[in-house]
Amino acid sequence: MRTILMLVKKEFLQVFRNSLLWKILLIAPLAEFILFPFTADYEIKKLNIAFIDYDHSTTTREIQNEFVASGYFVSYGNINSQKEARSLMQRDVIDFIVEFPCDFERKIITNEYTQIAVTANAINSVKAGIGTNYVQTVLFDYISSLAESFGVESQLTNITITNIYWFNEQMNYKNLIVPGILVILVTLIGAYVTALNLVREKELGTIEQINVTPIKKWQFLLGKMIPFWILGMGEFIIGLGIMYLVFGITIQGSFWLLLFATSIYLFVMLGLGFFISSVSENQLQAMFVVFFLFIVFVLLSGLFTPIEGMPSWAQYVNYLNPMSFFMDIIKLVILKASNIHDIKIQLLVLTGMAIVINTAALLSYREKVK
Amino acid sequence: MKAIEIENLNKIYNNRVQALSDVSFYVSEGEVFGLVGPDGGGKSTIFNILATLLLPTSGQASVLSRDVVNDAKIIRQLIGYLPGVFSLYPDLTVEENLIFFATMYKSRIKDNLPLIRPIWKQLVPFKDRRAGKLSGGMKQKLALCCALIHKPALLLLDEPTTGVDPVSRAEFWDILTNIQKQGITVLVSTPYMDEATRCDRIALIQEGKIIKIDTPTNIMEAYRGFLYTIKVENVFSVMEKLKEFDFPCNYYPYGQELHIAFYEAPEIVLQKFCSFLREQNIKFEELSPIQPTIEDCFIELVKLK
C-alpha cells in the first residue's frame, strides 16, 4: 500500500513539475472545450437563395419576402433561366433555387394542382438537408396562412407539420456537441498522456531502475493509473461545470451515474494507453498508434455522423469502439435522464473492455528481456 | 560462500550477436571484484543478467545462491544495482529520489542511514535540487545512495565512474572501499585500467570472453615482457616504420608516448632497436624501462592470446 501511494505521489510530482504537460493536461483541452462547440455549428444561417418566377404574381413575391423574413435565407433575387441558375450554383453563389410555374397564384386560389421546384446544392449534404427543411417550412407556413386569409378550405390546411425534437427541444446542436467534446477530452487524458508516460520512462532508462526493485508489475501499473485516473475524473467534472456555466446544459440524469460510467471508461483508456506504451519503443511510435486509434474512435463514435448511417461493416467495427459506447452513455444520461438499467449494456461492455485491455497491458509489460 | 557464481554463461542477441561466450567466474562474499575491458566487451550484458533484467541464452548464473532466472524476485530485494546510464528521475529532487527508492524496497531511510551517511552528507546541501541538475559525480553518489538504501548484500555497479572527473573518481573508489568494510560484496566494471588496481580480483574481458582472472598484483607480476617507454614526435608514423623491425616485440601508443615490450634478450634487442631508430632517422628522447601497468598487462594478454 505504501509502495503504491509512493508511486502515485511520484507521478503527481512529475506531472506538476512538467510545465508543458501540465498545460496540455488542463489548459489546452479546456480552451478547446470552450471554443470548439461554437465552431462545430450545425445550425445554418444565410443560405443564398435565388428564384425563377414564371408567374410574377403577388403571391410569389410575398413568398419570396417570406424567405428573407425567416432569417435563414439571403435572396439573390429573380433570375430568368435554369441555365443561369445552374451557372450561379456552380460558382457557389447560390445554394438554393426555388422555381414557381405559370399560373401559380391562380391555381392556388382555384384549388388546382400546382408544383414548386426546389433545387439544392448538395455538395455539403448537411447544409442541403437542413436547408430543404427550412424551405419546406417557409412554404407551408405561407400557403396555409394564405388559405386561411382567403377563407378557402385548402387541402394544405388539413396538413400541419409539427416537429417535436425530444430530449433536445430546440434542436440545439450544442446539446449534442458539448457532451461529445467532453468524451473526447476524457479519452485524450486517458489514452494519450498515459501512453506517452510509460514510454518516457523507457527512454530515460528509469524503467530499468524500477524493474530491479522488488515491486510487482501490477503495483507499478496501478501506481501509474491512479494519478491519471484522478486527473481524468477531475477534468471531467470541470468539463461538466463548464457545460452548465457556459452552455447552460444541465444533467437530466444522475450525476453519480455519470461519474461511475466515466470512471470505468477511464480505466479502458488508461489500459489502452499502457498497452500501447508497453509495446512501443519510443514516444513517437506510441503517439502515432494512439493518434490513429483516436481518429478511428472519434469518426465511428457517432459524434459527427450518425452510426445508423454507416455501412454495416463499420457498425460491426463499432462494437469494438469504447468511445461509441461511452458517447451513448453520456448523451443518454445528460440529455435523456436514462438510469442505470437503460445503460447497463454499455456499462457491461465497457467493464469487459477494461478487464481485457488491462490484462493485456499487464501481460505485455516485460521486466525481463530475452 | 560465493556471492556470485557464473558457469558457462552464453548470451546471443537476436540469434546473431554473441555478446557472451562461455563466461565462468565467481565472486566471494565480501570481495570487490572488477570486470575490466573495453566497451562492447560484454560487461553490461553480465550486469543485466545478474540484475535479472536479461535472460541468458544458456548457462547458469546465481546470485547469493539463488538462480537469476527462477528467483528473480528474491534476488531483487537482495541486490543494489547501478545501471551504466544515469536512471534516477531527473525531475524529482535528490531527497525525493532517495525516499522513492527506499519505499520501493520497503525500507525506510532512517533504518539504513549509517550505511550511506558518508555519501549522504555530501548530498545534503543539494537535497532540494532536482537530480537532473546535479554534476556527474554527484549524480553517481545519489545513485549509489539509492542503490544502498535497502542495505543490499551485493552491489552491482556498471561503469559507475564513466564520465566522472578524476578527483570524483578517486573519491568514488574510497567510498566503495568503505562499503566493502560494511560487509557488502561489490561487482564493479570499468573501462579505466587504473581503477582495476583498487579491486581485490579482476577479470579481463574482451569480445564476450574472459581472458584472465586474478588479483591485480598477480596479473602485473605475470607480465612476461621487458617494457620500455619512448617519447617520439609522431607516434603513429613511428609505429608505421616499426613494422620493418623484425625482432619479437610489442608496441602501442600510450598517451603521448610509445610503449614497447621486448621478449627475448632485452639488452641485445634494445641495442638493435636503438640502431634501427638511428637508421630510420627517428628522433626520440627518453628511452627508459618502466613497470607495467594493468593496461600493459591487458594488451599483452590480448596480443599473445
The radius of gyration of chain B from alpha carbons, rounded to an integer in Å, stands at: 22
- Nearest CB neighbour to B91, from listed A3, A18, A213: A18
Check residue A40 and give its pLDDT: 62
- Residue carrying the nine cell digits 641495442: B271
Q: What are phi and psi of B17, to 5 degrees?
A: -90, 115
B86 vs A contacts (CB less than 8 Å): 205
As for the ipTM of the complex, it is 0.81
Whether B16 contacts chain A with CB within 8 A = no
Same domain? B211 vs B227: no
B89–A368 C-beta distance less than 8 A? no
Long-range pairs for A231-235 at CB < 8 Å and ≥24 separation? A231/A15, A231/A25, A231/A189, A231/A193, A232/A186, A232/A189, A232/A190, A232/A262, A232/A266, A232/A269, A232/A270, A233/A259, A233/A262, A233/A263, A233/A266, A235/A25, A235/A26, A235/A29, A235/A30, A235/A185, A235/A186, A235/A189
Check residue A171 and give its pLDDT: 55
Cell of B44: 553490461
Q: What are phi and psi of B16, to 5 degrees?
A: -130, -55
Write down which residue in B199, B215, B231 finishes a domain: B215
Same domain? B124 vs B250: no
Following DSSP, what letter does each residue of A54-88 receive, concatenated?
SS--HHHHHHHHHHHHTSSEEEEEEES-HHHHHHH
Distance, CA of A24 to CA of A26 (rounded, Å): 6
**Residue B54 has what DSSP assignment?**
B
CA atoms within 13 A of residue B128's CA, in its CB half-sphere: 0
- Nearest CB neighbour to A14, from listed B89, B99, B106: B89
Distance from CA of B137 to the nearest CA of A (A): 18
Which residue stretches of chain B have pLDDT < 70?
Answer: 305
Same domain? B84 vs B149: yes
Write down which residue in B168, B187, B215 finishes a domain: B215
What CATH number has the domain bearing residue B89?
3.40.50.300
Buried/exposed A55-90: b ≥16 CB within 10 Å, e otherwise: bebebbbebbebbeeeebbeebeebeeeeebeebbe
Mutate to test the interface with B, among A5, A11, A202, A209 (most CBs of B within 10 A): A209
Other CB atoms within 10 Å distance of the CB of residue B145: 26
Spatial neighbors of A352 by CB under 8 A, at least 6 apart, are none
Whether A16 contacts chain B with CB within 8 A = no
Estimate to the nearest angstrom the gap between the alpha carbon of B183 and the chain centroid.
Answer: 20
Please classify residue A309 by burial: count the beta carbons closer than 10 Å to its beta carbon, then call 0-12 exposed, 13-18 middle and 19+ buried.
exposed
Between helix A194-204 and helix A217-247 the angle, nearest 10°, is 140
Chain A CA closest to residue B97: A10
Between helix A255-279 and helix A194-204 the angle, nearest 10°, is 30
Whether B58 contacts chain A with CB within 8 A = no
Chain B CA closest to residue A204: B87
Which residue stretches of chain A have pLDDT < 70?
Answer: 39-44, 150-173, 368-370
Spatial neighbors of A97 by CB under 8 A, at least 6 apart, are A49, A50, A51, A52, A85, A89, A117, A118, A119
B100–A2 C-beta distance less than 8 A? no
Whether A211 contacts chain B with CB within 8 A = yes
**Residue A44 has what DSSP assignment?**
-
Same domain? B265 vs B195: no
Query: Is residue A302 classed as helix, strand or coil in its secondary structure?
Result: coil
Whether A366 contacts chain B with CB within 8 A = no
Beta strand pairing call for B185-190 and B32-36:
parallel
Instruction: Give me the number of domains chain B comprises.
Output: 2
B96–A13 C-beta distance less than 8 A? yes
Do you know the residue count of chain A? 370
A214–B77 C-beta distance less than 8 A? yes
A213 vs B contacts (CB less than 8 Å): 76, 101, 104-105
A366 vs B contacts (CB less than 8 Å): none
Same domain? B185 vs B263: no
Same domain? B281 vs B233: yes
Distance, CA of B129 to CA of B138 (rounded, Å): 11
Whether B89 contacts chain A with CB within 8 A = yes
Distance, CA of A239 to CA of A31 (rounded, Å): 11
Query: Is residue A114 classed as helix, strand or coil in its secondary structure?
Result: coil
Contact A297, A323 (CB under 8 A): yes
B92 vs A contacts (CB less than 8 Å): 10, 13-14, 17
Contact B249, B272 (CB under 8 A): no
CA distances from B140 to A206, B20, B81 (A): 14, 27, 12
Contact B63, B156 (CB under 8 A): no
- Nearest CB neighbour to B105, from listed A211, A214, A370: A214
Check residue B305 and give its pLDDT: 63
Between helix A217-247 and helix A173-187 the angle, nearest 10°, is 160
What CATH number has the domain bearing residue B255?
3.30.70
Cell of B195: 581503477
Give 3-state DSSP helix, strand, coil % of chain B, rounded to 5.
40, 30, 30
Check residue B187 and give its pLDDT: 95
Whether B100 contacts chain A with CB within 8 A = yes
B73 vs A contacts (CB less than 8 Å): 214
Check residue B303 and give its pLDDT: 80
Write down which residue in B161, B188, B215 finishes a domain: B215
Estimate to the nearest angstrom the gap between the alpha carbon of B31 and the chain centroid.
Answer: 14
Contact B293, B191 (CB under 8 A): no
Distance from CA of A358 to the nearest CA of B (A): 22
Whether A204 contacts chain B with CB within 8 A = yes
Check residue A167 and give its pLDDT: 57
- Residue carrying the nine cell digits 488542463: A26
Same domain? B174 vs B277: no
- Nearest CB neighbour to A212, from listed B53, B55, B90: B53
A215–B92 C-beta distance less than 8 A? no
A213–B101 C-beta distance less than 8 A? yes
Domain range for B32 is: 2-215
Same domain? B94 vs B192: yes
Same domain? B82 vs B230: no
A204–B96 C-beta distance less than 8 A? no
Q: Which domains does chain A have, with CATH numbers?
A: 2-40+172-364 (no CATH), 47-158 (3.40.1710.10)
Following DSSP, what letter does each residue of B67-127 receive, concatenated?
ETTTSHHHHHHHEEEE-SS--S-TTSBHHHHHHHHHHHTT--HHHHHHHHHHHHHHHGGGT
Same domain? B231 vs B200: no
B105 vs A contacts (CB less than 8 Å): 213-214
- Nearest CB neighbour to A205, from listed B73, B87, B99: B87
Query: Is residue A118 classed as helix, strand or coil in its secondary structure?
Result: strand
Q: Shortest CA distance to B234 belongs to which of B279, B299, B282?
A: B282
Q: Shortest CA distance to B230 belongs to which of B245, B209, B208, B215?
A: B245
Whether A1 contacts chain B with CB within 8 A = no
Same domain? B191 vs B166: yes
Whether A19 contacts chain B with CB within 8 A = no
Check residue A158 and give its pLDDT: 47
Same domain? B116 vs B195: yes
Please classify residue B301 by burial: count the beta carbons closer than 10 Å to its beta carbon, then call 0-12 exposed, 13-18 middle and 19+ buried.
middle
Whether A309 contacts chain B with CB within 8 A = no
Mutate to test the interface with B, among A197, A212, A224, A367 (most CBs of B within 10 A): A212
B89–A206 C-beta distance less than 8 A? yes
Distance, CA of A57 to CA of A67 (rounded, Å): 16
- Nearest CB neighbour to A205, from listed B48, B85, B91: B85
- Residue carrying the nine cell digits 489514452: A191
Contact B253, B239 (CB under 8 A): yes
Check residue A144 and give its pLDDT: 77
Distance from CA of B213 to the nearest CA of A (A): 28
- Nearest CB neighbour to B83, from listed A10, A14, A208: A208
